[in-house]
Structure 1
Amino acid sequence: MIGRLQGVLLEKSLPDLLVDVHGVGYEVQAPVSTFASLGKVGDPVILYTHLVVREDAHQLFGFSDTSQRTLFRTLIKLNGVGPKLALAILSGMDVQAFARCVHAEDVASLTKLPGVGKKTAERLIVEMRDRLQEWQAPAPLWQASEQAEQKQADDRLREAESALIALGYKPVEASRMLNRVADQASTPEELIRLALRNSLGNS
């Protein structure tokens, strides 16, 4: 099984890609979402792949992250859903959006996908509901970045608040002082200094 390709993008024509890996050109089919994440021809590329073996052909499908590949692999296990339809589903909405539609039983949104009629949408909801619980898609990179930044900000506030309490301020008062300057500093030390300065200036 070919599970991952790392090479240079030689050709790019939806849905087909040609990737050069040490002199070997791999033909790969990819969803629109993966195309959008790729650079231009000549750029390095990493794809997570799934090989479909048929009597008349071997087809390699590529994805920008493992969550897309996992959903693809889950979809093609369903009756009546082949690689072509699975690729169309992944082209029409991202992994998180698809999961939301299944859990919310949103037939209307699913029928907007190419090749998905009402009966297919209903079957997807019924058959995918339990399967989605078997794996959890990772948060998109932008979301993971925002979560990391928020955690750092929370950690700074907690550290600064502990220092103010140690100086004799009550927890409620320390929290109120820091909230006034939370977006004006990037370190606990700066937060403490600004909070004290602001408090003294208002006294």
Structure 2
Amino acid sequence: MIGRLHGTLLEKLPPWIVIDVNGVGYELETSMTTLVALPAVGEEVRLYTHLSVREDAHLLYGFGRDEERQLFRALIKVNGVGPKLALAILSGMDRDAFVGCVMEGDSKALTKLPGVGKKTADRLIVEMRDRFPHWQEEQGSLLDAPRQPVVKPQDPLADAEAALVSLGYKPTEASRMLSGLDEGLPTEALIKAALARQMAG
């Protein structure tokens, strides 16, 4: 099992990143929460990881905080929730907000997340109320190293739209979420603003 990676950030192609660890490039899929907190390409990065082994692939997921990984692992134990939907949930809502929705039975807020319908929201509430681990105070992040300005990609808007579609939003919905935002922003900022707009709406 691969539990953590420490290396150089080689690529950011939302939601995918590549980390060079002693000459080996590890490809990981991350939540948007982790993605927007990453340093610039070429900088040092440390991530908690979860390895998913399938018959046709070994998939690695990266998280800036262990608490986010814990929630991811709790989510994929819910009937009908796979890694893709779990990442979409983590991308659209932070841990505390999600825990609050579950404990308060707020299915309406959960259905704003891509791929989460009424039945899935109700299932999340029922199955996770008693399944949450003992959440402790955050013990820090592996992303707390000094930050450098993020390198601006060639087409931040297109990259942001592609990332939103990869989370489960329809292309027309992703386009609407990004409409009117400052196109000069980097990809990560556009994604964050679009997700915040979606949850507020």
TM-score tier after normalising by the smaller chain length: 0.5 to 0.7
Post-superposition shift, 1:46? 0.7
Post-superposition shift, 1:140? 8.1
The corresponding residue for 2:135 is 136
The corresponding residue for 1:124 is 124
Indicate conservation of the 8 Å contact 2:67/2:138, yes or no. no
* Alpha-carbon distance between aligned partners in 1 of 2:136 and 2:17, rounded to the nearest angstrom: 24
Identify the structure with bigger relative contact order (alpha carbons < 8 Å, sequence gap 6+). Answer: 2
The corresponding residue for 2:23 is 23
* Alpha-carbon distance between aligned partners in 2 of 1:74 and 1:96, rounded to the nearest angstrom: 14
The corresponding residue for 2:63 is 63
Identity of paired residues, percent?
61
Q: Is the counterpart of residue 34 in structure 1 residue 34 in structure 2?
A: yes
What RMSD, in angstroms, separates the aligned Cα atoms of the two structures?
Answer: 1.4
Post-superposition shift, 1:78? 1.2
The aligned amino acid for 2:123 is R
Indicate conservation of the 8 Å contact 2:10/2:17, yes or no. yes
1:192-203 alignment runs, 5 A limit: none
The aligned amino acid for 1:135 is H
Indicate conservation of the 8 Å contact 1:95/1:137, yes or no. no
Give the 3 Å change call, closer, same or farther, for CA 95–137 of structure 1 in structure 2: farther
Q: Which runs of 5+ in 1 are unaligned?
A: 142-203
- As a proportion of its length, which structure holds more helix? 1
SS in structure 2 opposite 1:135? coil
Give the 3 Å change call, closer, same or farther, for CA 137–81 of structure 1 in structure 2: farther
Structure 1 residues 143-182: Cα deviation after superposition (integer angstroms, max 9, x where no partner)? xxxxxxxxxxxxxxxxxxxxxxxxxxxxxxxxxxxxxxxx
The corresponding residue for 2:74 is 74
The aligned amino acid for 2:81 is V
Q: Which runs of 5+ in 2 are unaligned?
A: 141-201
Q: TM-score, normalised by structure 2?
A: 0.68
The alignment covers a number of residue pairs equal to 141
1:1-203 alignment runs, 5 A limit: 1-132=1-132, 134-139=133-138
SS in structure 1 opposite 2:99? helix
Post-superposition shift, 1:138? 2.7
Indicate conservation of the 8 Å contact 1:47/1:62, yes or no. yes
Indicate conservation of the 8 Å contact 2:9/2:17, yes or no. yes
